[in-house]
Structure 1
Amino acid sequence: MGFSQIGVAGVDLSGAEQGLLDWLAHGFHGEMHYMAAHGLRRARPAELVPGTVSVLTARMDYLPRDTAADWQAVEFARLSRPDEGIVSVYARGRDYHKVLRSRLQRLAERIGEAVGPLGHRVFTDSAPVLEAELAARSGQGWRGKHTLVLDRQGGSMFFLGEIYLDLALPATAPVSAHCGSCSACMAICPTQAIVAPGRLDARRCISYLTIEHAGSIPVELRPLIGNRIYGCDDCQLACPWNKFARPSTLADFDARPGLQGEPLAALMAWSEAEFLRRTEGGPIRRIGHARWLRNLAVGMGNALRSPLAEASKAAMRVALGQRLDHADPVVREHVAWALEASSDPGQQ
């Protein structure tokens, strides 16, 4: 079914409750209010789905099938081309929610065929579930200092999914951590969002700012975003374990046209209809066209401050100028900021 590993975790996550409460108390979840709204149900599977006695966890690799052996270097090189829009690798293909959910459902049905009537519920980043905690407890890997799950044979370039079951299954053993003294992920984070090993302040994370955050991006953080227009992979690119990351076996995660190596000016020219067409069935669509334009404006403002060919800068100024009167005030604000930055290279 395309999964790279299956594990089983128990439902007693009480040891993770205090860490969750502390993270919320610090406000590290930002505007993701649903994180606080569900409280400790995240750490209590049997409360979320009554009758749950075990959780089947699944891992699915997502690097595109044509990924080169030196893919980390290839992705790092994109940062040196400031007029190119960078979409996080995971988001260049089909929406992983759709892919994992349907395959997890099929897996649950096959288990039911083997054991008889089965109570279950399928999840993939779609409900108050402590996915990384469950994955780590079931042997999918260990929690890296960037908070993501790491596997010695697969790095961290994979999605997680779960099936809550009313069937008691023996838990698979967790694995030991292998980050050692390495802190490459913490050092490379452009906004220093990893405030301590295993602790992320989402309010500073570029993935949060470009995807989850709906309003104006803090001015002081905009220059640090560079040309990242949807998500950020830097902490994973720097991780030595990701030299073992494996390409997916599925065509679903192959990069779609326009989402890899595309100039910022060309992306800014997409009408809302074109945006919807090109992102149909993909994860990017959920942020909407206005937030997409906001992110592009930040990328272009940063590119216009960099040493680029004048022809490239001119194309970006034209593209920005066409959005100055956009109906959304957040878009207008970020476009104006980008154009102001272009007239004053020293402005932050």
Structure 2
Amino acid sequence: MSLTTQIKEFALDIGYSKVGIIPAESFPEYITDLTNRHEMYSFYIKGSFRPLVGAELRSLMPTAKSIITTVYDYSQKNFPKELTDKIGRVYQARCYNAPPERINGSRPQLMREFLRKFGCEVGDKISLPERLVAAKAGIVNYGKNNFAYAEGVGSFIYLTSFVVDKELDYDSPTVEVGCPEGCSVCMKACPTQAIYEPLKLDPRRCIAFNTFMTQDRIAGSHIEPEIREKMGTKVHGCDICQEVCPRNQARLKAKLPDDEYLVNFAQNFSLSQMLNMTDEFYSTRIQPLMFNYIRDRKYFQRNAAIALGNLGDPAFVPDLEVAMKDPEDLVREYAAWALGKIGGRSAKEVLKASLSRETSESVKTEISGAISKATI
């Protein structure tokens, strides 16, 4: 049995749904596209991922000869409705950049150990254009919503690649759009029009981006009021453009078994708890699902405040009143916005009381704006 066959069989054995292999060459088309949209993606280009360097992967690994790419189907179980309104499915599935001590983090580690057992040098910390790699390997094609789609699964997949120094047998590409002709339902459904043309996304308008990339050290913590209004109750990720896609309907409508972990999780998760979270809530309800991008809890609290504001329910005014005394300026600022959005006499009273003791100029500005907008 060839090494290629052994690699593919092992990948399928440990839970990957599809596996393909391509030569370890550079990706000039990706470099050009990213460079042409530098303004939109400057946070990514300048960040720790170094995608333009990874696209010239031999600059990081001169011995690279092959890329083994895999598809993991994370939609094999049902996702609770109580959570899908708030948290993207890929994060609920605990597979996105999972730590090595979790089951979905151990899978790529098992793959690396298997490859090394057969004498392969395996590249480390190389950021590849995963969707392009998988399409060149023939295991996915593209959707107009910018996601990769695997045959028989849809777009609820997670891609992982492994760069090795062995020449292997290579697969044929499927670098093409697989959407029905004339379909634009994903573009129409996006509340912020982040998908401005097929295969083109402005991340700055994307709800998912605004839930986790808007951090001081990445893209700044400010979320435009226009975007806040359209985030609904999304606090980590967004699946809207995938949920409306005709290519995902078979999986979304399938009778799938419940994920008992998520069922239990959902019973002890709420936006109000997220807003004024305890250490226990952070460790048992935030970190297990949302360990991907955010480490500082104030951003989770900000997102919860936006979600509560968008619900518009006066029952949450007491929770927001507590948040108006939070030590973090960011939390108080967005709690003020939420109170203004909810409106009513009690919300306005909380805002006025908060303004009298507030010391942060940015929070004072938000409170004043909220008071003027709050209706009684």
Normalising by the smaller structure, the TM-score range is 0.7 to 0.9
Amino acid at match of 2:163: Y
| 1:146 correspondence with 2:145 | yes
Equivalent pair of 2:96/2:292 in contact (CA under 8 Å): no
In structure 1, the residue matched to 2:191 is: 190
Equivalent pair of 1:28/1:201 in contact (CA under 8 Å): yes
Task: Give 1:200-279 correspondences, 5 Å limit.
Answer: 200-214=201-215, 215-245=221-251, 255=262, 257-259=264-266, 262-279=269-286
Equivalent pair of 2:49/2:127 in contact (CA under 8 Å): no
| 1:63 correspondence with 2:62 | no
What secondary structure, in the 3-state scheme, does the structure 2 residue paired with 1:297 have?
helix
Give per-residue Cα distances to partners, 1:90-133, cap 9 Å, x unaligned.
212435323454212322332444xx32101356xxx5321111
Q: TM-score, normalised by structure 1?
A: 0.81
Q: In structure 2, how many angstroms separate the alpha carbons of the residues matched to 1:261 and 1:330?
A: 25
Amino acid at match of 1:118: C
Shift of 1:31: 3.4
Residues 241 and 197 from structure 1, CA distance in 2 versus in 1: closer, same or farther, beyond 3 angstroms? same
Amino acid at match of 1:186: M
Give per-residue Cα distances to partners, 1:316-345, cap 9 Å, x unaligned.
111111110211111111000111111169
Task: Give 1:291-306 correspondences, 5 Å limit.
Answer: 291-304=299-312
In structure 1, the residue matched to 2:164 is: 165
Q: In structure 2, how many angstroms separate the alpha carbons of the residues matched to 1:129 and 1:142?
A: 17
Shift of 1:33: 5.1
Give per-residue Cα distances to partners, 1:47-100, cap 9 Å, x unaligned.
222211110001101125245xxxxxx85xx79xxxx96111121243532345
Residues 61 and 95 from structure 1, CA distance in 2 versus in 1: closer, same or farther, beyond 3 angstroms? closer
Amino acid at match of 1:279: I
Equivalent pair of 2:74/2:93 in contact (CA under 8 Å): no
Aligned Cα RMSD in Å?
3.1
Identity over the aligned pairs, expressed in percent? Answer: 25
Shift of 1:177: 2.7
> Structure 2, unaligned stretches of length 5 or more?
1-13, 216-220, 345-369
Report which of the two structures shows the higher radius of gyration computed on alpha carbons: 2
Q: In structure 2, how many angstroms separate the alpha carbons of the residues matched to 1:194 and 1:86?
A: 21
Q: In structure 2, how many angstroms separate the alpha carbons of the residues matched to 1:231 and 1:263?
A: 16
- How many residues get paired? 320
Of the two structures, which has the highest relative contact order with CA contacts closer than 8 Å and spacing of 6 or more? 1
Give per-residue Cα distances to partners, 1:277-315, cap 9 Å, x unaligned.
3234433475232111100110111111xxxxxxxx343
More displaced 10-residue stretch of structure 1: 31-40 or 317-326: 31-40
| 1:11 correspondence with 2:12 | no
> Structure 1, unaligned stretches of length 5 or more?
68-73, 305-312
Q: In structure 2, how many angstroms separate the alpha carbons of the residues matched to 1:49 and 1:136?
A: 22
Residues 30 and 342 from structure 1, CA distance in 2 versus in 1: closer, same or farther, beyond 3 angstroms? farther
In structure 2, the residue matched to 1:308 is: none
Residues 251 and 120 from structure 1, CA distance in 2 versus in 1: closer, same or farther, beyond 3 angstroms? farther
In structure 2, the residue matched to 1:324 is: 324
In structure 2, the residue matched to 1:102 is: 106
Q: In structure 2, how many angstroms separate the alpha carbons of the residues matched to 1:278 and 1:42?
A: 34
Equivalent pair of 2:116/2:122 in contact (CA under 8 Å): no
In structure 2, the residue matched to 1:131 is: 130
Shift of 1:151: 2.1
